Structure 1
């Protein structure tokens, strides 16, 4: 099982099927807040939808093409983060993440993204880590900015968000750059 202790209160653990109820509850509690930037809230209306998501995550992990973890704060699941895609042929990983609303603004996601970047570069020996966020999602964009990722591009109309398109800001860091930053 993948588990990584970041500090005395924050850790990452490979997502498990028995996490479905807590993740669904966290999603439901933060539904209005998360819906501003995440496109999957309308299709997550019951625990079974979260179970289906987790099964897909575990399949991706077994096939070595993704890694989805739960974010634990003092042992309680407060969000989800991981590698949405691991592109082994190009040695690139794409980080995605979300936190429940009440856990925002505590520096948790910056710690998580830093730990995932370290894991990608130092353990998996990948060359690049990329994080994308909607252009106007300043909270999400601040995570790679705080970590020293470089802004690389804006992808126009990158994602359909319920009733409109949003552009994505793309941030990346290369292995040699990361080794200089940390």
Structure 2
């Protein structure tokens, strides 16, 4: 089981099937917050959907394709507060794509920046990758602020990159190169 402490109150862990009810509750409680940016939210209708997602992520992790981690807050009782992931790990090109989301009540505390910094270190030190890429909808200012706090370089904008619930989004594409992190 993958477990990675970030600090005394935050950690990352590989998702486990027993987390499905908690993951579903977190998504369900944050539908309004997540839905403008993440199309999969509309397709998460029950804990069984979260269980299937976890099953697929574990399969993909075993094949070396993805690393989907739960972000846990350990102040008081331990609880799942978001996800941070390598949505694609591409050893042939030495690159991974980083994705993340956080429950609304935990925003504004720098937690996602800390989690993403840990994932970037994992990409470079554990996976021996050379680049981490992040795409964020141009209108998603909070997500883009994480990219900027990480020191990522805005590499360009892809117009009409994604349709989420009928809304077309352009994506700002950011990159972090291993040699720039030294």
CA RMSD of aligned residues (A): 0.7
What is the TM-score when the length of structure 2 is the normalising length?
Answer: 0.96
Matched with 2:33 is: 33
Matched with 1:112 is: 115
Aligned-partner Cα distance in 1 for 2:150–2:165: 30
Matched with 2:54 is: 54
Describe how 1:8-157 pairs up with structure 2 within 5 A: 8-74=8-74, 75-157=78-160
Aligned-partner Cα distance in 1 for 2:65–2:26: 26
Deviation, 1:159, is 0.9
Aligned-partner Cα distance in 2 for 1:148–1:66: 23
Aligned-partner Cα distance in 2 for 1:178–1:136: 27
Structure 1: gaps of 5 or more residues: none
Deviation, 1:164, is 2.0
Deviation, 1:8, is 0.7
Matched, 1:168 2:171: yes
Runs of 4+ in 1 over 3 A off after TM superposition: none
Output one character per residue of 1:90-124: Cα deviation in whole Å (capped at 9) or x when no partner.
01000111111111111110000000000101121
Mapped contact 2:133–2:174 kept (Cα < 8 A): yes
Deviation, 1:132, is 0.8
Mapped contact 2:85–2:100 kept (Cα < 8 A): yes
Deviation, 1:157, is 1.0
Mapped contact 2:36–2:165 kept (Cα < 8 A): no
SS at structure 2 position matched to 1:80: strand
Output one character per residue of 1:61-94: Cα deviation in whole Å (capped at 9) or x when no partner.
0100100110000121101111000011001000
SS at structure 2 position matched to 1:65: coil
Aligned-partner Cα distance in 2 for 1:82–1:99: 12
Aligned-partner Cα distance in 2 for 1:53–1:98: 15
